[in-house]
Chains A and B, each alone.
Chain A
Amino acid sequence: DAMVIQNPRYQVTQFGKPVTLSCSQTLNHNVMYWYQQKSSQAPKLLFHYYDKDFNNEADTPDNFQSRRPNTSFCFLDIRSPGLGDAAMYLCATSYGVDETQYFGPGTRLLVL
C-alpha cells in the first residue's frame, strides 16, 4: 500500500545533541511537509518542500533544518534540541498544492 513512513517512531535524545528524523513516501507526491505537534496542541507547520524548493515558515527556529535528497525522502534535523522541542513530529505529503495532505504516523521526540 502506498504510504508515508516515519522513522524512528520514538526518539530519545539529550539536551543539545543533534538528532535527525526521517520521512519517506511511496505516494510519489511532490510536496512534503514537516509539522510539530506539542501535547494537546494543534499541529504547527515548520516548513515544506515543493519539489526541490524549500519553504520555511517565518517563525520556525533556526535550530530546525530540513533536507530532501530525492522525491521519496525528507529529513528533519534538529541541531541542538532543547527541552521545549519535545513533541510529536509529523511528516505529510500531497500531490501539488491543491490536494489533501496525507500524514505519516509521527515520531515522538523526548529530550532529556
Chain B
Amino acid sequence: ELKVEQNPLFLSMQEGKNYTIYCNYSTTSDRLYWYRQDPGKSLESLFVLLSNGAVKQEGRLMASLDTKARLSTLHITAAVHDLSATYFCAVDHTGTASKLTFGTGTRLQVTL
C-alpha cells in the first residue's frame, strides 16, 4: 500500500523567511504533484514533477523530486502572507490509471 507522508504537518513562519516542506512516499512512482488548498476551497495545481531530478519554480515556490530517495521538497523563499494555505503532495501510482494518493498535508501560516 502506497503511503505518502509530509512534514511538518503545521508550519508557522514569518514573512520574509525561507522554509522547506518534505514529502516522502513508500513505493516507486515517476510522477508527483503539489497542490494548494485554501480553507473551504478546492485544490489548485501548483507543480507536476515527472522525472528524477526535476525542479520547477513558480514565484516564491520551488519544487523538486528525487525518485531514488522517494522524496519531494517544496521550498518557500521569502514567504509572504498570501502563501498561507494547506499544501498537499500527491503521488501517482506507477503503472495504473492516474490514481493519486495524497500526503497528509502541511498547513502553512505566514505571519506578519
Contact = CB atoms under 8 A, between A and B. Distances in A.
Interface of A: 31, 40-45, 48, 50, 55, 57, 90, 92, 94, 96-106, 108
Nearest to A96: B98
A101 B35 CA distance: 10
Interface of B: 31, 33, 35, 40-45, 48, 88, 96-105
Contacts, number: 53
A97 B102 CA distance: 16
Contacts of B33: 100-101
Contact of A106 (B42, B88, B97, B105): B42
B25 to A, nearest CB: 13
A104 B97 contact: no
Given A31-B97, A43-B102, A98 B43 contact: no
A104 B99 CA distance: 17
Nearest to B31: A98
A97 B42 contact: no
Nearest to B107: A40
A106 B35 CA distance: 15
